[in-house]
A and B are shown apart, each in its own frame.
Chain A
Amino acid sequence: MGSVCTEVGNGTDRRGVGFLVTPSKLPPGLLGSAALFWGVEAGLVLWAIPSALFLEAPRFVSKRWSLGREDFNRLSDLCAALFGVMAVISYATLEAPEAILTIFRFGPLTLLPIILGQLFSERGRVDVSAFFLALRRQAKSEGISWELDLGYPFLASLMLGAASGNPTGFQFYGGCTIIVGIALWSIRPRRFLTFRWAGLWLATALIGAGVIETIQVGRVVIYRKLLDSYIARIGPRVDPTRAPTAIGRVGRLQQSDSVFLRVRPAERGGSVPELLSDAAYDIYRNREWAAGRNDFKSVLASEPVGTWDIAENRDEKAAIIVSKSLPKGRGLLSIPYGTHRIGGLPAESFERSRFGALRVNGGPSFSEYRASYWPDGFSEAGPESGDLKLAGEEKVIRRIAQEWGLTKLPPGKAIDAMLAHFSENFHYSIYRKEEAGERPLEEFLTTRRRGHCEYFATTAVLLMRAAGVPARYATGFVVREQDRYEEGFVVRGRHAHAWARAYLNGKWVTVDATPASWWPIENARRSGFRPLLDIFDWMRYRWSAWRWRPVEENKGIAWWVWVLALVAGFIIWRNFRDWRPQSADDSAVFFEELRLGLDSELLTLEAAFAERGDGRRLSESLRRWCNRKAGAAPSADAELWRRIGALHERHRFDPKGLIESERTELGRGAQRLRPEKVSS
């Protein structure tokens, strides 16, 4: 179709004469089949079938519209709006990696308007300025900038969409190879015959498969090597996934005012425990508390989904609901002592240490879990030898213990005496980083006599051990502040706390050595902006809670989706209400009637040669081409070439035309000179 019209220029004429550009080179049916492939792979067949039909319709329907730059700008805006809405919906309902994949999956749908615009337009190309606001201004003043055939990028988006769907199997590779192969074949340089090119493509596909295999194997090897080297560096006995806690960690937490947890009773009017603990440690070394022999055992899930039974079959006496954010879906839960069941926390795995710490893996980034507990129960393992060990600064501890007479008293009395000493002679001071010296505990106990909760807890544990009481060090939070916007309590960073656990009379009890003045001192530190920031914290909490609400609530499409759709539909209607694209006029049709002799066999003969790159040049007439071929052909055929060249010329351009015999001579001659018979 393109050979009739004059192919002048390349669109840079500023006078804007509407000449035709070469039509798209996409082979017929490719877009449609790619759309169906996408539908099958991405699981969106119901969307894919009508899309495929629309994409192939231009082959059968000849109606076209003359769409200008303004029209394409509108379509591009529509696509951007659809894309934005889809991105918001994905992000609101899914986690980050899946959200991105969903965006790719549905991506081609949002691009449909503009690709259909191109296919049904007269020009068959889209100006790049439709996609970039900065270019639109420039294009308006200077004229057409750069035109693009969107068919190929759309194919790429279909492939990416298909890739985001089905994660297994190699049928994606097969389909992708075929479709990308056909697309590249359509733009191959003319000198390559289809057969040779197909062979090359087959080789490429095999190399690609080889690359995939190499990547897979390489990935496994690299990962294993990395893991080996990491373990080798740290040491064999320590569990790499459980880090020790240095003195100061809680102090650093206490510097933040933002809300870490929200706690409320599961039943209205229920009670809430004072302390929530998240971890416990027993080995003190180098100003660090570590948990030795920290075997986390996994807990089996039970019914319904998200429920984990820690101790068998106990009835619920009290329960609280804790809202906590778990970055990457992993972390320790803050729970009251005596927790026997956790509910409302769907996760991949759930583990419990012998100290009673609960660790979750593969859970949601934010969760509101229900902790059912027995108020005076405990769920830690009994004391072991480690709970009595003293280390580092042992001498000082023993001396103080002696001084305070702890070693002589029975365990209960010793604890009381120690607490009395602490409250009378020691003061609470806010954590400061520079405080830790060479022998911090000695300093604390003898000279300074002031420090923050971690010092108090550490020395309490060590002193009790010196007095023969098994003790452990515990960290967690204190629940005391009421929530202003919700029912329940807020727990801030400031409320992080460390205390001691002592084994007394066959039970583990909490021994909090920090003077009571610590609470008002810490709370006095809040900044003036706190009320304002609290509001933001609360809004974020509300958003997270809604976002991570349990799945059972989902019965079909939520109401807000309908509202969003209505609003979007209204905006679109407003924008496009007065859009009347002009239909293209068909002046090309009138010209078709003027041409004579289009049935000449020489035309098809020339087309066959053109396939091999040996066709006539644009400005060369067929007669000249025949003479050229005659020059290069063996003498037997040269005469024939010249003869059919002359005959064809008469047939096409002489109004009188050819006589019968000459007409058949032309046909027969063209037959004889077909490329298969002629060598090269």
Chain B
Amino acid sequence: MSEPFATLKNIGDNIRRVMRGQEEAIRWLLACLAAGGHVLLEDAPGTGKTTLAKALARSLGAKFQRIQFTADLLPSDIVGVSVYDQEQRKFRFHQGPVFTNILLADEINRASPRTQSALLEAMAEGQVSVEGKTITLASPFMVIATQNPVEFQGTYPLPEAQMDRFMMRFCPGYVPVEQEVEILSDQETVHPLEKIEAVASVEELLAVREAVRAVRISSELKRHITDLVRETRTAASVQLGASPRASLSLMHVSRALALLEGSSFVTPDHIRECAVPVVAHRLSLDPQARFSGLTSEAVVEEILSKTAAPA
């Protein structure tokens, strides 16, 4: 058990050398990585989302690809296209950027929903069908998507039904002023991203995922997870609550958090800590409530505050 714990700790420390002051974001990211899910980062431009993804990819020594989503991006730009090779008189499939270990989908809400769904389907299936042939994606495959908050113009927010594919959504946010100063000092000469090296291999990551599946969780806590998720379905102002997939994600992420702390069993604090990032983005709010300033995070926080924590 200590080996996977050490692996995660190393990756985390490595990322911290590049990212200053983003403790919580790094923690969630590692938890998601260990749990085997996809992440949606939501924040204003320039807060280091791309750096975070790159740092993670470099720490793992895994293949990394980046797609910048624009308004005229086509699905073939993501998945790949069959190109006709004139010499050989055959069609050759050029793999798109999706065939990688870590995929950074930057500003995913700038593309049209048609293009978005192409990526989301690939994430869901784990494979891509092109012209009758099915090609599986690499393993491990993790998508780190970034999104600008919806207030800005020219964006197409992801529909909530598709948000279910992401295991977590969180906002790195602006860092405190001391850290921001340190960022400036760090990047005076060369970007620290250039200097980091891989500290873990893909096989070690797979071992981490195995270890997560071995973390113990009691029936009472499983019941608590389902209770929390069921409450989102009956909460006022929620049109569509979280699905059983949310309960599964919550369980996986809490186990990953337990592993991150070196514990071998899940505690209620783990569950409640990650409830908001895991569940909030899956809720579809009543349009009336949305315009009352109610956010899905607020709904989940209210459910957490009103539900008794198992003692």
Residue ranges of A at the interface with B (Cβ–Cβ < 8 Å): 3-4, 6-9, 13, 15, 17, 591, 594-596, 603, 606, 616, 618-624, 649-650, 652-656
Contact = CB atoms under 8 A, between A and B. Distances in A.
Interface in B265-298: 265-269, 272
Given A15-B234, A621-B268, A624-B269, A653 B220 contact: yes
Interface string B11-47: 0000000000000000000000000000000000000
Contact of A606 (B221, B236, B264, B311): B311
A650 B263 CA distance: 10
Contacts of B266: 653
Contact of A655 (B218, B227, B236): B218
Interface stretch (B55-63, B240-248, B299-307): B299-307
Contacts of B223: 591, 594
B interface, how many residues as a size bin? Answer: 20 to 34
B309 A620 contact: yes
A622 B311 contact: yes
Task: Sort A-B residue pairs by CB-CB distance and give the 7 closest, nearest first.
Answer: A654-B265, A621-B309, A619-B305, A594-B219, A621-B268, A622-B311, A6-B307
Nearest to A594: B219
Contacts of B236: 13
Interface string B251-273: 00000000000001111110010
B310 interface: yes
A652 B311 CA distance: 8
A649 B223 CA distance: 17
18 contacts: A7-B306, A594-B219, A596-B218, A616-B311, A618-B305, A618-B306, A619-B272, A619-B309, A621-B269, A621-B310, A621-B311, A623-B269, A649-B267, A652-B310, A653-B217, A653-B220, A653-B221, A653-B267
Contacts of B310: 595, 621, 652-653
B92 interface: no
B231 interface: yes
A13 B217 CA distance: 32
B83 interface: no
Contacts of A622: 309, 311
B216 interface: yes
Does more than half of chain A's interface fall in helix, strand or loop, or is it mixed?
loop
From A9, A623, A653, A654, residue with most partner B Cβ within 10 Å: A653
A654 B258 CA distance: 12
Contacts of B216: 654-656
B308 interface: yes
Nearest to A17: B234
Given A7-B308, A13-B234, 17 more contacts: A3-B308, A7-B307, A591-B223, A595-B220, A595-B310, A616-B309, A618-B305, A619-B272, A619-B307, A621-B311, A622-B311, A624-B269, A652-B310, A653-B218, A653-B220, A655-B217, A655-B265
Nearest to B304: A619
A3 B265 contact: no
Contact of B265 (A594, A595, A616, A656): A656
A99 B207 CA distance: 87
A8 B218 contact: no
A654 B218 contact: yes
Contacts of A3: 308, 311
